[in-house]
Structure 1
Amino acid sequence: MDGLRLDGRVAVVTGGAGAIGAAIAADLAALGAHVVIADVDLPNAEKAAAGLPGARALPVDLAAPASVGAFGDAVGPVDILVHNAGVSIVEPFTESDPAHWDLMWQVNLRGPMLLTKLLLPGMTARGWGRLVFVSSDGARAGSGGEGAYAATKAGLFGLAKTLAREAARAHVTSNVVCPGPTDTPMLRRVSEAEPGLVDKIARGIPLRRLGTPADVAGLVAYLCTDRAAYITGQTLSVSGGVTMQ
């Protein structure tokens, strides 16, 4: 089908060394994009990039404005910006550490704001661009133990919708993708402390399985194509039916 290729487009995926980020990077590369895997974990970012044609890795620490600025200087013109990186610290809100709030705010919301401010002007000047913010179904519906995480990820909704309005005339779209329960190494590590947790979560999902990184990546990649050029300002869940709107 026409409109599903990204040949020649430069795509940045933050948190690209992780499970979901690597799947997004792989799908974008398969559509012809030149992918830049941006991650604080440069060795694993380089490993992920090595397996993709035309991909490269660059370091960025979203909690450090100077690092974000250096990344912006190093990356060059960017057509697609996928904000996938995130930090989650699970703890009941009344027992949570404000220092943890600060870290999650810096990585989950301030970092995307800073990076978008650097790269969006180039997209608008060239008359084409895609912004995709990976948030969380926990930010849409709430999630026990993730009050600060949900708050910072929910901030992406307002940012994405505002940018959708401000950049529309330059043919830049801005959307949010919200993964639900997804089978990642992080979830498996958490489940080690609670045997049976993964099966319990899966039973509560209408489709009766956890999501996979590929489930999330497929939607992100589609939103970056010309077939999705008339979709902007939207928040879409990939949750197996946990969240329905």
Structure 2
Amino acid sequence: MFNFNLEGKVVLITGASGGGVGTYTGKLFLSLGAIVYFNGKEQHKIQSIISSLPENLKVNARGIIADVSKDSEVKQMIDEIQKKEKRIDILINNAANGGPAKKIGEITHSEWEKEISTTLNGSFLCSRYVVPHMMKQKYGKVIFISSNAAFKGTWGRNVGYASAKAGILGLCKQMALELASYNINVNSVVPSQINSPRIKRNGRKDEKTLELHAKNIPLGRIGEPEDVANMLVFLASDVSSYITGQEIFIDGGGTLAPSTTSLRS
């Protein structure tokens, strides 16, 4: 029997203040009864999201400030949640930098480090401080947001972004192996382009370019935040209790064939 009820589960979603996948996922988890911590670096953005929620969802919504690339801030964040809730059931490592689309000879060392520190190091730090609590309670779900850039490269980002997203996959598999005996499931989702504010930032994509991209996707459309959020609910629920160490593509079939082989008329 399918049961996606997350009543009372304590969830931390990093990078959840941008109005995209993290934000939408938090709202969906709240609607299923979870207690959700929306993480971000700016108080006003998190407060704006919580203020916009329906009254019945606000009661279980929490904002928490931390730069996930900084060890001390992550530790403080996890300690605060644990102190208030006495448990952390679900961690969704969503925070990412998503810097400029520069080629290898153009990207600076600091831009490279920013990609790695937020996306990969941030996922490591959050996992490092959350997992001991999950081990004690003999239960937990850790989910990473990777990208098909880890498998195919990408025209819209840079080597730092692709490398960080690839590193997440190795982190996921090793953690899944180490934590299986503690009843902790660790998985990754691998979205392609999702129609969120991040991909339109600084004019990187617009409606016309997204429409062109959709023509090369077998399902014929760009992914939406809810497409990712729905999979995250599945992986966070006990329905997926026998799944660990996996990467699950959310790309409308985009990895099935090169774009030059599109059969669409």
Q: Please indicate the TM-score interval, normalised by the length of the shorter structure.
A: over 0.9
Q: Deviations over 1:29-85 (max 9, x none)?
A: 122110000111221112223413411000010122221122122111211000011
- Please tell me whether Structure 1 or Structure 2 has the larger radius of gyration of its CA atoms: 2
Give 1:10 deviation, angstroms: 0.1
2:200 partner letter: R
Match of residue 242 from structure 1:
254
8 Å contact kept, 2:69–2:125 = no
CA distance in 2, matches of 1:190, 1:201: 18
Structure 2 unpaired stretches of 5+: 258-265
RMSD: 1.8
1:23 partner letter: Y
The runs of at least 4 aligned residues of structure 1 exceeding 6 Å deviation read 192-195
CA distance in 2, matches of 1:5, 1:163: 25
Residues 163/244 of structure 1: CA separation in 2 closer, same or farther (3 Å cut) = farther
CA distance in 2, matches of 1:2, 1:207: 26
Q: Deviations over 1:148-175 (max 9, x none)?
A: 1010111010111111111111110000
Correspondence list, 1:1-245, <5 A: 1-18=1-18, 19-50=20-51, 51=53, 52-53=57-58, 54-76=60-82, 77-89=87-99, 90-144=101-155, 145-191=157-203, 196-244=208-256
CA distance in 2, matches of 1:142, 1:209: 20
2:39 partner letter: A
CA distance in 1, matches of 2:202, 2:154: 15
CA distance in 1, matches of 2:213, 2:163: 22
How many residues in Structure 1 have an aligned counterpart in Structure 2?
245
SS of 1:133's equivalent in the other structure is strand
Residues 169/192 of structure 1: CA separation in 2 closer, same or farther (3 Å cut) = closer
CA distance in 2, matches of 1:20, 1:94: 31
CA distance in 1, matches of 2:204, 2:243: 39
Give 1:194 deviation, angstroms: 6.9
8 Å contact kept, 1:104–1:148 = yes
CA distance in 1, matches of 2:160, 2:5: 38
1:121 partner letter: P
Give 1:180 deviation, angstroms: 0.6
Q: Percent identity?
A: 29
Give 1:195 deviation, angstroms: 7.5
2:42 partner letter: D
1:126 partner letter: Q
1:209 partner letter: R
CA distance in 2, matches of 1:131, 1:84: 11
8 Å contact kept, 1:46–1:56 = no
CA distance in 2, matches of 1:146, 1:83: 20
Give the structure-2-normalised TM-score.
Answer: 0.87
Q: Deviations over 1:85-115 (max 9, x none)?
A: 1011121122111101111111001111111
Structure 1 unpaired stretches of 5+: none
